[in-house]
Amino acid sequence: MRCPHCETLEDKVIESRMLAHGESIRRRRECLQCGYRFTSYEHIEEKQLMVIKRDGSRQLFDIKKIKHGILRAIEKRPISQSQIESILIELENEARIKALNTNEISSTDLGEMVLKKLYTLDNVAYIRFASVYRQFENVEEFIKEIEKLT
């Protein structure tokens, strides 16, 4: 860290102490250039990703809920556990990137992201998820969606 006295970036930690049951660490540092001693604190950055639902309510992002929806859509389809796991990891990463500035993502965006993944993975799973998620208003809409696949 930059020495507040001479602005050198070289220092050594001379003491580390855990605070608040490990939620924070206090470090005593000594500048290697001028010997000035200063203190730094380390905290975990708590940034919860929130999902904004269609009715405007907010919920904590929970990958388990997405997994649940995906598992229902791929029931009895030839899709391996590792394929599901990698999709979930990709989805969580993409959601966090999309929510980088606000820590918020809409459930609509999230649903579309899942659809995109399923689209490349399995047509049947895609249609199943889409029919629940998009709540097709009529048979024509449903058929249109299936026709897009072929």
Rounded to whole angstroms, the Cα distance separating 147 from 85 reads: 29
Residue 89 within binding range of Zn ion, rule CB under 5 A: no
Stretch that binds Zn ion, among 32-40, 89-97, 100-108, 121-129 (CB under 5 A): 32-40
Q: Give the shortest CB-40-to-Zn ion separation in angstroms.
A: 14
Among 1, 2, 5, 148, contact with Zn ion (rule: CB under 5 A): 5
Rounded to whole angstroms, the Cα distance separating 39 from 36 reads: 10
The token pair at 58 is 């907010």
Other C-beta atoms lying within 10 Å of the C-beta of residue 74: 22
Q: Which is nearer to Zn ion, 31 or 87 (CB)?
A: 31
- Long-range CB contacts for residues 58-62, cutoff 8 Å, separation at least 24: 58/104, 61/95, 61/105
Identify any residues that bridge with 40 across adjacent strands, giving them in sequence order. Answer: 27
Stretch that binds Zn ion, among 1-9, 40-48, 65-73, 128-136 (CB under 5 A): 1-9
Residue 48 · residue 61 · CB < 8 Å: yes
Residue 38 within binding range of Zn ion, rule CB under 5 A: no
Among 25, 27, 30, 36, contact with Zn ion (rule: CB under 5 A): 36
Q: Which is nearer to Zn ion, 33 or 107 (CB)?
A: 33
Interacting residues toward Zn ion by CB under 5 A: 3, 5-6, 8, 31, 33-34, 36
